[in-house]
Each structure stands twice: as structure tokens, then as C-alpha cells.
A = this chain, B = another copy of it.
């Protein structure tokens, strides 16, 4: 993209925003870019992707639209970055257990807690409810690859748990789909500060999958 389409941030008449970090643009580029992505996630969450404009996001931050354009190319890229930010947190949860010597079931439980935290974050809505159709083919392909990696990761942990005897034999593919569905649905019902924490929900879901719907006895 030519440099001329990305003007340096202007100093508009907007009020200062708690979301927007202070300081010069050179020093805080990464921090400010992250603030733009976070504000986009919150706006998409509240109004939906198609009902949110870059003006809305700039207003939430108390900056001008050219300032937003300085950090991202367009609204589509913001959706992509929100997707990626949330998915990266889930990948972090997988990385954290990769070298652990514990059973497959314990590692799966740990991943589910991190997964629940990612979905309950401000990026959860984008990960679950935003549509591939709104992304460029290249971005949609990248997102599909990341999602597939997570699906395969869940299946692998379940399979390893079955192999080490910590999980009863089961259909690993369907079990992974059921787990992912239950967790992803958190984005639809979770409200911050009401009831359980995301990590508690992850742990409780592990219980539901371990003990729920078994005949009493």
C-alpha cells in the first residue's frame, strides 16, 4: 500500500481517551496499534462488524480517523487482527502444555481454561461470530489454517489422553467438536464481572464433560 494512503496521525479536537496511550508515535507504535485493535474488538462486539465504522472506532479512542489508518489499512484488517489476537491466546495455551509431563487429560484441562479465557476476552466475539465472508480470501485462508491447527491440537490431546489411560476411549473428532462448540459458545452468553471467571468456566466445563449426563450411580 502506498505511503500516501497512510497519513501521519493528526491532532484532532477529540477529547483524551483512557484507551489511547500517551506519548510520541514512534516510541509507542506497537502499544497504540494494540489499542486500535482492542477498540475495534469492543465496537464490533457491541454493534456488529457491519454496523461499525472506522469513525466509531476513532471516536471511541478519542483520535482522528487518519490516526486509525496509520496503524491499519482498513476495517477488514482490523477484523483479521481481532481474530488473530484471540486465536493466538488459544495457541499460547497449547504451547504452555506442550512440554509438560502430565497426563493428556490434565493438559487438556489446562488448555480448556486458557481457551475459555480467550473466548471470554474482548476478542471472543470476533473469533466466534464474525464471518469469513467479510475477510479477503488470503486472510480467510490464514484464519482457517489457525482454526484447523487448534482443532487438531484438541484432537491430539484427547487421543494422547486415551492412549495414556487418563481419558476413556471416545470419538476424538466429535469430542473435539463438542468441546470447541461448548467453549466457543461462551462468547454468546458470558458477561464480564457476572458470576464465574473464564478460567472457572473452563474448569467447570471439564467437569461437565467428565461427569455430566452420566446416569447416577
Contacts and interface: CB of A to CB of B under 8 A. Distances in A.
A181 interface: yes
Contacts of A216: 162, 165-169
Contact of A180 (B180, B185, B205): B185
Contact of A167 (B169, B205, B214): B214
A84 interface: no
Given A178-B205, A209-B209, A168 B214 contact: yes
A47 B177 CA distance: 23
A113 B88 CA distance: 34
A180 to B, nearest CB: 6
Interface stretch (A32-40, A57-65, A129-137): A129-137
Nearest to A132: B48
Interface of chain A: mostly helix, strand, loop or mixed: helix
**Size class of A's contact patch?**
35 or more
16 contacts: A47-B133, A48-B131, A48-B134, A108-B213, A129-B131, A168-B213, A168-B214, A168-B215, A171-B204, A174-B204, A175-B208, A181-B184, A185-B185, A210-B213, A210-B215, A214-B214
Nearest to A190: B177
A186 interface: yes
Contact of A182 (B105, B169, B177, B217): B177
A159 to B, nearest CB: 13
A183 interface: yes
Interface string A176-217: 011111111110110000000000010011111111111111
